[in-house]
Amino acid sequence: EVQLVESGGGLVKPGGSLRLSCAASGFTFSSYSMTWVRQTPGKGLEWVSSISSSSRYIYYADSVKGRFTISRDNAKNSLYLQMNSLRAEDTAVYYCARTPTYGDFIPWYFDLWGRGTLVTVSS
């Protein structure tokens, strides 16, 4: 089955750290660029970070730059998000999503999403 499964969410205190994982299965992970998108409970969607299939290109939203690090391990079919210096406003459901990639052409829309993992930052 083609799917993405996120894990690693939970309750963390402000200033703390958390590492999210996204396990891919049923498709050739190394052929896809990947992205983390978050959604505040009851609110809309916010792009967080993206990484190309070979990790050559990496992008971050200003709101997380310097605090979050995206990475991937194509041998393990996995995507990661290391989140440091967490703030209350980082509380959200975090989704991983894939983008089909054609060489250096990456049309950054998302044709497959995981079910998400909830991150709650609270004292």
Residues within the interface to other proteins (CB under 8 A): 35, 44-47, 50, 59, 61-62, 95, 97, 107-116
CB of 112 to other proteins, least distance (A): 8
The residue among 17 and 108 lying less far from other proteins, judged by its C-beta, is: 108
The beta strand positions in the chain, using DSSP E, are 3-7, 10-12, 18-25, 32-39, 45-51, 58-60, 68-73, 78-83, 92-100, 112-113, 117-121
Q: Fill in the amino acid letter for 13.
A: K
Beta bridge partners of 42: none
CB of 21 to other proteins, least distance (A): 16
The residue among 84 and 118 lying less far from other proteins, judged by its C-beta, is: 118
The residue among 43 and 75 lying less far from other proteins, judged by its C-beta, is: 43
CB of 109 to other proteins, least distance (A): 4
CB of 39 to other proteins, least distance (A): 9
In terms of Cα–Cα distance, which of 2, 21, 38 is closest to 79? 21
DSSP H stretches of helix in the chain = none
The residue among 62 and 123 lying less far from other proteins, judged by its C-beta, is: 62
